[in-house]
Amino acid sequence: MGEYQYVKVSVEERIAILTIDHPPANAFDTRTVMDLNAAFDEVLANPEVKAIIITGAGQFAFVAGADINEINALKGHDDAKEVVVKGQQLFSKIEASPKPVIAAINAVCLGGGNELAMACHIRIASDRARFGQPEINLGIIPGWGGTQRLPRYVGKGKAFELLFTGDMITAQEAARIGLVNKVVPAGDVIKEAKGLAKKIVSKSALPLAAIIDAVNKGLEMDLQDALLYEAEHFAKLCETHDMREGVAAFLQKRQAKFEDR
């Protein structure tokens, strides 16, 4: 496994854990974004990895947002756009990953951190976590997908409220509005995320990837085109070894032994 300055990588039981470790607040500066991008590419290419967990080191923050000093140093339109496009490309890669990605949100999750979490497929949060898009307080807007993914999760009205005010919300409120999937006691976030990941990796990788693709692309289509896209995935999966194994296991009342083919 590669060595990165601000991201730690571990793999166990076919689950990769990427830990952002940039004290004190795990701020997303250029180096951290580059490290996460490289580490994500590494585990994405690793055939032994079937699911990925992204979390933050320490008790203070999952990711507390972009590095304000770097924002202050931006030299103009082109410089600023280059920075946000790189972040958008990384988060789009995570969102489109054929391997399920779980955000294990251990603490404060603001700005770019919240945008990272929203790019993941599932979000598990500590009951001490706080969420928000505070960019409005700096005279800017989110640049890594916050204005686009947030309304898709929580609805247009609630997204406008959070984006307009820059207010933080609790993990419990984030779960209530659909921003996170589950809230667990502080200290149990990784345990919960690993438990969910273990359940996921017991499934065939082929339908997992198909589900991610069908959901992501289907949401950008009208319903009839999306249904046809779903049908095509279904038909392709019906030609696979794992489909035959899954059906046989069900009929024989035994545990399926998937081979990801």
Q: How confident is the model at residue 67 (pLDDT cuts 50, 70, 90)?
A: confident
Average pLDDT, the chain: 95
pLDDT in tens, 8-66: 999 999 999 999 999 988 988 999 999 999 999 999 999 999 999 999 998 889 998 88
Q: Is 90 exceeded by the pLDDT of residue 4?
A: yes
In the prediction, which pLDDT does 83 show?
85
42, 115, 192, 230: the active-site residue = 115
Q: Where are the domains of the chain?
A: 7-201, 205-251
Q: Please compute the mean of the pLDDT values over residues 147-176 and round it to a whole number.
A: 98
Whether this model's pTM surpasses 0.85: yes
Please confirm, yes or no, whether 239 is among the known catalytic residues: no
DSSP string, 164-188: HH---EEHHHHHHTTS-SEEE-TT-
Please confirm, yes or no, whether 115 is among the known catalytic residues: yes
In the prediction, which pLDDT does 68 show?
84
Which two tokens mark 26?
């795990």
In the prediction, which pLDDT does 219 show?
95
Q: Is 90 exceeded by the pLDDT of residue 175?
A: yes
Which two tokens mark 249?
């296991």
Q: Is 90 exceeded by the pLDDT of residue 72?
A: no
Q: Is 90 exceeded by the pLDDT of residue 2?
A: no
Percent of the chain with pLDDT over 90: 87
Measured distance CA(175)–CA(140) in Å, rounded = 26
Pick the CATH number of 7-201 from 2.60.120.10, 3.90.226.10, 1.20.140.10, 3.20.20.10: 3.90.226.10
CB 62 within 8 A of CB 26: yes
Q: Please compute the mean of the pLDDT values over residues 150-170 and round it to a whole number.
A: 97
Q: Is 90 exceeded by the pLDDT of residue 82?
A: no
Tell me yes or no: is domain 205-251 CATH 1.10.1060: no
205-251 shares the fold of 7-201: no
Q: Is 80 exceeded by the pLDDT of residue 1?
A: no
12, 70, 135, 245: the active-site residue = 135
Q: Is 80 exceeded by the pLDDT of residue 168?
A: yes
